[in-house]
Amino acid sequence: MAINPFTQFVFDLFIFSAIMITAYTCNFYYLAYLSRKRKDVSSTTDWGTPSVTVQLPIYNEKYVAKRLVDAVCNLDYPKEKMRIMVLDDSDDDTVELLANTVDDYKKQGFQIEHVRRGTRNGYKAGALKHAMQTTDTELVAIFDADFIPPTWFLKRAIPHFSTSNIGLVQCRWGHVNENYSAITQAQALSLDFHFLIEQKAKSNSHLFMNFNGTAGIWKRDCIEDAGGWHTATLVEDLDLSYRAQMKGWKCVFLPNIVVDAELPVQMNAAKRQQFRWAKGSIQCAIKLLSDITLKRKVSIEAKIQAFIQLTRHIVYPLMLIQFLALPILLAGQVNLYVVSILPAITIATYLAMGPGAYIMIIQTMYHKSWKSKVKILPALLVYNAGMSVNNTVAVFDAVFGKKNEFLRTPKYGIITKDDDWRDKAYNLPFTQTTLLEIFFGVYGIMGIFISIFSNNPIFVPIIGLQVVGFFYIAYMSLSHTRFKRNKSSNNRVRTEKEKMANVVYKLSMISIVAIIVFGGFMAITGYDNKIYPLDRIRGHLDGIVGSSDPVSLRAHLLAIQTDLEIVMDGMRETTDANGELVAKNPVWIFSTESTNFLRIQSDVETMLASVEKVSTVPKDSSAYHTGMLDINDRASSLRTNIMDATPYAYASVENILFSTIWIAAIIGIFSALKRKKEHLKEADEIGV
């Protein structure tokens, strides 16, 4: 069956995306194989107690900053060998809190200092770079504000600098609040995949692994030899670790040394973290890949793996391309089954490549506790699917060189399920990305109906998983939004403004839900009135091509006439010089005769007349066979015409106008919320 040029282009994009996604997925399975094949690094040497500087980069973390400093000062390590640098770039209550905490520990004999550089230039990387100017110890340990290092951390980790070329030991992240919610459970499982599969596979080998920004120890010589901390990307940790390995240093991952940390509990915070990681990775790819490619001492496999790791976030835009293309291809009756005669093989292939393989990996990661982790897998699949919009925006930001502020991921000191973050400072509002997530969710609902009405229900769960993900992420982004100011204040006027903002927010959420429901209803109604009749017409034309019974042919043609009357209602009309109607066409610009429904209607009437004629002659006569061939040829031609017209039925003037109004309404609500947020910010600045 011939495919029109537009559908062919979409099909090519779909196949290209599928191939690329499959390649990245298979590479993860390859790393899973390597992680089982290569034993954990266990070689150690007695280093004694080398001098260590513990650097703690902090910005506005009043709920967890003291907890971190307390944990570091509680490390079982000689005070005279351990220097603690609290790198505080904060501009809120955190400054006073840390100043008091540092003073208390100084009185107890700790070598601890409260570093205030007076600027946020370079953000975290800038703070670490500034600290290195006065760091003269052999080792440098780094912890982010939300981490809680155990007392034995330094004594157990330092001996793993067993050879002179090891420049970094990276420890595994634990999750102090893993069971707080479905969001934290999904994040914990995702991070475990990274550490126990990717990091473990690359550690102590010729493959490059990355520093995760915290819970690691560097040799100071390694940092300096690699060129120090750079501020050009949002992931200074990945950047430095790759430059160090290109210099010949080795990085080692220690899976058995676990440092607990707090996972983001607010959806908007989790999205911010994912955005930073995705954008930063692409920035590093742009910055480093050419050097890695030209480096002779780096093996081919290491170069390939470096390329895959640095570019792996392009999977997210590829996922969206597939998601957008699938309904178009199904509407165009393009066969997408893995095995054309066995549609069920398609869903089985998806399950085998995705959840099935992940279940096997989880078994090897968690051993006896694997069943409890498998229960989290559906939440992770939904979470990753929904995050594809957020991370796609990050990828394009990096590719087009858009500059972004380093936005930290706020933490609230959440450990148990009884802890609450909603009334605390640092709460993040939803962003414009939420609007895109809503759009993709609504588009996916239309895709589900297209799958059903085009007799391809096997694709419903594939589309449905992503639809659930988009709506879940959007819903959580909206429901987790709080208009809570970052700076402490008991000002009554500001409190009243916050209350009013929350009222506006709730009303806006109700309006958005109402608009989405109304839009979904209109989309379903429009599909039923304009698109589904075209699908039925194609089905009847298929029936005509496959039949030689005049009675059956007549029934198909009469049904086609009924559906043509439905779809032609409201279609663009063209008249000649005498005012006579000569065309009805869904193509409202650059229309052609092939999609003229008056001509199609005339052809159907001609076919009905032919059926009446052939029904009067013997079935074994040449006239009967000639008539049937003519009817079949006309049916095949009309089917192509209907397929050409179908995409334009989606893009009718009415649909474009309604979609514009629908999107404008949602944007208007978002703009009102943004203005309210700006008013609150102004109130903060003037102290009202």
- The pLDDT of 160-164, averaged and rounded, is 90
Residue type, 663: I
SS3 252: strand
Q: How far is CA 33 from CA 172, 253, 361, 379, 554, in A?
A: 19, 17, 9, 24, 61
Least confidently predicted of 73-87, 142-156, 179-193, 605-619: 605-619
- pLDDT above 90 covers a percentage of the chain that reads 50
Residue extents of the structural domains in the chain: 1-39+161-420+433-482, 531-652
Least reliable range by pLDDT among 68-82, 314-328, 432-446, 652-666: 652-666
| Mean local confidence (pLDDT), 336-347 | 59
Q: Using 50, 70 and 90 to split pLDDT, how confident is the model at 649? A: confident
Q: Mind listing the pLDDT tens digit for each residue in 283-330? A: 999 999 999 999 888 999 999 999 999 999 999 999 999 999 998 888
Residue 258 CB: number of other CB atoms within 10 A?
16
pLDDT in tens, 205-264: 889 999 999 999 999 999 999 999 999 888 999 999 999 999 999 999 999 999 999 999
Q: Is the pLDDT of residue 2 over 70?
A: no
Dihedrals phi, psi of 289, to nearest 5 degrees = -60, -35
Give the pLDDT confidence score for residue 489 in this predicted structure.
45
Q: Which two tokens stand for residue 354?
A: 């995705």
Interval 576-584 mean pLDDT: 79
pLDDT tens, 452-479? 877 788 889 889 999 999 999 999 998 8
pLDDT of the residue at 688? 41
The rounded distance, in Å, linking the Cα atoms of 492 and 572 is 60
Does residue 488 register a pLDDT over 50? Answer: no
User: Which of the 8 DSSP states describes residue 84?
Assistant: E
- pLDDT tens-digit profile of 75-118? 999 999 999 999 999 988 999 999 999 999 999 999 999 999 98
Residue 501 binned pLDDT confidence (cut-offs 50, 70, 90): low
pLDDT at 490 over 50: no
What is the per-residue pLDDT for 499? 65
> Tens digits of per-residue pLDDT, 352-397?
667 778 889 999 899 888 999 999 999 999 999 999 999 999 999 9
Q: Write out pLDDT tens, residues 394-409.
A: 999 999 887 767 778 8
Mean pLDDT to the nearest integer, 572-594: 78
Rounded Cα gap, residues 659 and 666, in angstroms: 11
Query: How many CB atoms are located within 10 Å of the residue 141 CB?
Result: 27
pLDDT: which is higher, 531 or 590? 531
- Sheet with 166-175, side-by-side order of all strands: 111-115, 82-88, 52-58, 139-142, 216-219, 166-175, 250-261, 147-148
Highest-confidence segment of 185-189, 504-508, 622-626: 185-189
Helix (H, G, I), strand (E, B) or coil at 18: helix
Q: Is the pLDDT of residue 415 over 80?
A: yes
Q: Of 7, 6, 640, 5, nearest to 335 (Cα)?
A: 7
174 forms beta bridges with: 260
SS (H, E, C) 296-353: CCCCHHHHHHHHHHHHHHHHHHHHHHHHHHHHHHHHCCCCCCCCCCCCHHHHHHHHHH
Tell me what pLDDT residue 687 has. 46
Percent of the chain with pLDDT over 70: 89
The residues annotated with a catalytic role in the active site are 89, 237
- Return the beta strands (E) in 441-596 as ranges: 572-575, 581-585
pLDDT at residue number 495: 59
Distance, CA of 479 to chain centre: 19
In sequence order, the 6+-apart residues with CB closer than 8 A to the CB of 533 are 563, 564, 566, 567
> What is the model's pLDDT at position 538?
85
Question: What single-letter amino acid sits at 133?
Answer: Q
CA distance 264 to 261: 10
For 79, the token pair is 């005070």
Average pLDDT over every residue of 152-166: 94
Nearest-angstrom CA–CA distance, 577 and 555: 37
Cα gap 279→286, rounded to integer Å: 11
* Ramachandran class of 172: left when φ > 0, alpha when ψ lies in -120 to 50, beta otherwise: beta
Domain 531-652 is found in CATH 1.10.10 = no
Longest dimension (CA), the chain: 112
CB 414 within 8 A of CB 262: yes
Residues in the chain, overall count: 688
Least confident interval from 93-97, 335-339, 528-532: 335-339
Q: How far is CA 453 from CA 64, 252, 330, 567, in A?
A: 53, 54, 9, 16
Q: How do strand 250-261 and strand 166-175 relate by DSSP bridges? A: parallel
Place of tokens 């790198």: 87
d(CA 26, CA 24): 6
Instruction: Provide the 3-class DSSP secondary structure of residue 112.
Output: strand
Predicted pLDDT of residue 256: 93
**Buried b / exposed e along 197-223 (16+ C-beta atoms within 10 A):** bbbbbbbbbebbbbbbbbbbbbbbebb
Q: What is the DSSP letter of 170?
A: E
Residue bearing the bigger pLDDT, 446 or 141 = 141
pLDDT at 494 over 60: no
So what's the pLDDT on residue 52?
98
Residue 180 CA, chain-centre distance (Å), reads 22
Q: Is 3 exposed, middle or buried (0-12, 13-18, 19+ CB in 10 A)?
A: middle
Question: Distance (Å, rounded) from C-alpha 160 to C-alpha 168?
Answer: 9
Task: Look over the chain and give the mean of its residue pLDDT values, rounded to a whole number.
Answer: 86
**In sequence order, what DSSP letters do the residues of 116-162 get, joined into one string?**
--S--TTHHHHHHHHHHTT--SSEEEE--TTEE--TTHHHHHGGG--
